[in-house]
Chains A and B, each alone.
Chain A
Amino acid sequence: AQKITQTQPGMFVQEKEAVTLDCTYDTSDPSYGLFWYKQPSSGEMIFLIYQGSYDQQNATEGRYSLNFQKARKSANLVISASQLGDSAMYFCAMRETVNDYKLSFGAGTTVTVRA
Chain B
Amino acid sequence: SAVISQKPSRDICQRGTSLTIQCQVDSQVTMMFWYRQQPGQSLTLIATANQGSEATYESGFVIDKFPISRPNLTFSTLTVSNMSPEDSSIYLCSALGQDHSGANVLTFGAGSRLTVL
Contact = CB atoms under 8 A, between A and B. Distances in A.
Interface string B96-108: 1001010111111
Contacts of B113: 43
B42 A47 contact: no
A44 B45 contact: no
A50 to B, nearest CB: 5
Interface size grouping (class) on chain A = 20 to 34
Nearest to B101: A50
A52 B98 CA distance: 13
Given A42-B110, A102-B33, A102-B48, A47 B43 contact: no
A107 interface: yes
A52 B104 CA distance: 10
Interface in B1-22: 1
Interface in B61-96: 90, 92, 94, 96
A105 interface: yes
B110 A107 contact: no
Nearest to A91: B42
A42 B108 CA distance: 13
B102 to A, nearest CB: 10
Given A43-B110, A44-B110, A105 B42 contact: yes
B42 A50 contact: no
Contacts of A107: 41-42
B104 A101 contact: yes
Interface of A: 33, 35, 37, 42-47, 50, 52, 91, 95, 100-103, 105-108
Interface of B: 1, 31, 33, 41-45, 48, 90, 92, 94, 96, 99, 101, 103-111, 113
Given A45-B92, A47-B1, A47-B107, 6 more contacts: A33-B104, A42-B110, A44-B108, A102-B45, A105-B42, A108-B42
